Chain A
């Protein structure tokens, strides 16, 4: 059974690295009595995939993973069982069975939306993007206008959506440092994962066109 889980990660669990999260889930399924299918081969491991790894230090309301289980059970039942054992700060919000027509989640995700909290108001963000449209990441030039899907400013808060290509996306804290010189971001919360595809989408992933959250009325 191919199962998609939409979960959140908040509180001090934001300090877990992606590796820690992987190890956690591998254990969680066993603890909850859900038996993941194992890959064949030399070093078998559960068939577990994350839609988009989350950086250490970010909160998230939009974590999505897919897993192949040996068990057959209603997805909500799986969610309930997992929630009984998950540590404080992680919770499965929704679950769904995926059929084979749904592409791999890693391929499905083309955008990611964050909510950034700043030390000060950042109304000048649009001007900064205009003035510094090219950012260097590991000696590679990133063109910001083509990578930023949308920005919306609300005083000390910014909603920022960026493009995801082959599991890679511009890191918001790096971007803000580029724009403002100093690091003035206080917290980062991943809010959405986006797909281009219309029609059925796994929980936690939505079409970007459905969101007004990343469109600024004044820009």
Chain B
């Protein structure tokens, strides 16, 4: 590798002249920041392509926050597309930070976000492209390689590659990290020891996972008593007061989501039993309307943007959502407001109607399951009447396209539930017909995902449904909905299976990931790059039976490979929820009704949020 402190324009010309969309790799975007005098240099590394990574709210938040710290420089880097990877390797150049064009190995900290299991091989590849050893035990000194995000909640599959996992919300913990690195920059061992005793930091090297005679996990425990048994998730103390990012970096190449996002709530109390985010980001917190309007409008101005997204896991749940939407709209003329993750009810559709997004984009509703029984199993808390009501409101309100999200392969599902899903979609279709009249065209698009059991959810114990069953149900559904105005899109079965293996993986899986990367796996979430054959080979060579991880019901009392990660939700609650699921019984949303005793408020000394019943 050619070592230069910074790559010059001339050096980079050699690679950029022959790649597709070179603007992905030049930095210098509006509102990007380059400091000259930083003593701590951090690069935020997103293990997917630029257009995906630049749409990720978390990095915008951390970038803004870190760069506000004195003498800290935060830069960004994204997974180079295969053409860029080839060009860099051919020229012997390292992956670099977009702001300074400094090779990654020159940074003090490389911070990955693990948003998705299928991006894991990209993490390894990016480390390798930085000229660093992929295995943490073979790396000495800085940069310190850290990782956060949902994937860190079951860190074991990545334990061989990452030095330190961040458990929980980054905002406050990063200050501790920067301080520790300043103090112990010349002694990595000491740095790791110092971090390992601070809540929210997990140093896998100080822990070990034992296995029984069948090779099943007996849990992950500290190697010596100086380290905590469980790593407690960190949450910010005053989310409501936490300022929004002021300067939104405007990416060059059109990103997946080209808009400014403001996080109106964090956490969700709906309690859907499959949803990891719904458990992981508790407790539910809100920012007040006035802060959101004033800082949101300012961020919009600084970004020169005309699109703002009121981001949350369930936007319509914000206590002041109606006024909020109206004020944001009146403050910024010609601005379109989008509300991701709407509840399935007419109130939410009415809200969306306010935002002028009508006709511009389709409306998305997520009933998730087709039959009432199965919706109760997952605790969706939505009735068929509400779904039809929402659809009617949408079509009467001017939408001509709606997108419906469903899942196939949910626990307890039978073919009858799929028949019921098809019947529901037909009813929605009839409702649409009625609402728009017989002359107008309309379109219903179904996105049908495959259920993947995720750690820290009530469904973590449930097996994934076997691929041939998934396939036959996908066919059944398509067969029942074979008509002009309905389009059905399903996910490929093998990607879902790999996701399940990695999601519920233990330390042994790590070797499979390593081997898959060596065999050439990259960009596994991109179907044109996904190589199930190589993954199978990798697992075989690593002595791993993927079926054991994906297709097995786990006993309630079995130690789980992620039990040492404490997200603040009690295991008793998760078991209770899983048992209620089996009986198709509902649990109330605690912000509107009774406390469900998930443990989060007690564990974090948090005052529970109560919302009015009017919504």
Contacts and interface: CB of A to CB of B under 8 A. Distances in A.
A12 B253 contact: no
A87 B301 contact: no
Nearest to A27: B304
B254 A87 contact: no
Contacts of A11: 9, 28
A38 interface: yes
Contact of A31 (B16, B22, B30): B30
B91 interface: no
A56 interface: yes
Contacts of A24: 30, 250, 252
A31 B301 contact: yes
B17 interface: yes
Contacts of A16: 23, 26, 252
Contacts, number: 61
B330 interface: no
Nearest to B303: A27
Contacts of A54: none
A30 B302 CA distance: 8
A31 B302 contact: yes
A15 B304 contact: no
A89 B28 contact: yes
For chain B, the bracket of interface size reads: 20 to 34
B334 interface: yes
Interface residues of A, number: 25
Interface string A1-34: 0000000000111011101100110111111000
A114 B304 CA distance: 32
B12 interface: yes
Given A11-B9, A17-B23, A87-B28, A31 B334 contact: no
Interface string B302-342: 11111000000000000000000000000000100000000
A120 interface: no
B304 A28 contact: yes
Contacts of B254: 19-20, 23
Interface string B17-54: 10001110111111000000000000000000000000
A27 B23 contact: no
A88 interface: yes
A85 B28 contact: no
A15 B28 contact: no
A205 B107 CA distance: 46
A118 to B, nearest CB: 15
A116 to B, nearest CB: 15
Interface of A is mostly: helix
A12 B9 contact: yes
A31 B303 contact: yes
A44 B254 CA distance: 19
A12 B252 contact: no
Nearest to B27: A12
Contact of B253 (A20, A26, A28, A57): A20
B81 to A, nearest CB: 14
Nearest to A10: B9
A12 to B, nearest CB: 4
Which of B21, B23, B254, B305: most chain A Cβ within 10 A? B23
Nearest to B302: A31
B297 to A, nearest CB: 12
Given A20-B253, A44-B334, A57-B17, A13 B305 contact: no
Contacts of A20: 23, 252-254
A43 B359 CA distance: 10
A12 B334 contact: no
Interface string B235-255: 000000000000000101110
Contacts of B12: 12
B301 A13 contact: no
Contacts of B28: 11-13, 87-89
Interface string A165-181: 00000000000000000
Contacts of A26: 304
Which of A13, A15, A17, A28: most chain B Cβ within 10 A? A15
A12 B303 contact: no
A15 B16 contact: yes
A24 B303 CA distance: 10
Nearest to B12: A12
Contacts of B360: 43
Contact of B304 (A12, A29, A38, A88): A29
Contacts of B23: 15-17, 20, 56
B345 to A, nearest CB: 29
A35 to B, nearest CB: 9
Interface string B174-191: 000000000000000000
A99 to B, nearest CB: 27
Nearest to A29: B304
A80 to B, nearest CB: 17
A27 B305 contact: yes
A12 B306 contact: no
Interface string A38-65: 1000011000000000001100000000
Contact of A30 (B27, B252, B304): B304
7 contacts: A11-B28, A12-B12, A16-B252, A20-B23, A28-B30, A28-B304, A87-B29
Given A30-B306, A87-B28, 15 more contacts: A12-B26, A12-B27, A13-B26, A16-B26, A16-B252, A20-B253, A26-B304, A27-B30, A28-B304, A29-B304, A30-B304, A31-B301, A56-B23, A57-B17, A85-B30
8 interchain residue pairs of minimum CB distance:
A27-B304, A30-B304, A31-B304, A15-B22, A12-B26, A20-B252, A15-B23, A87-B28
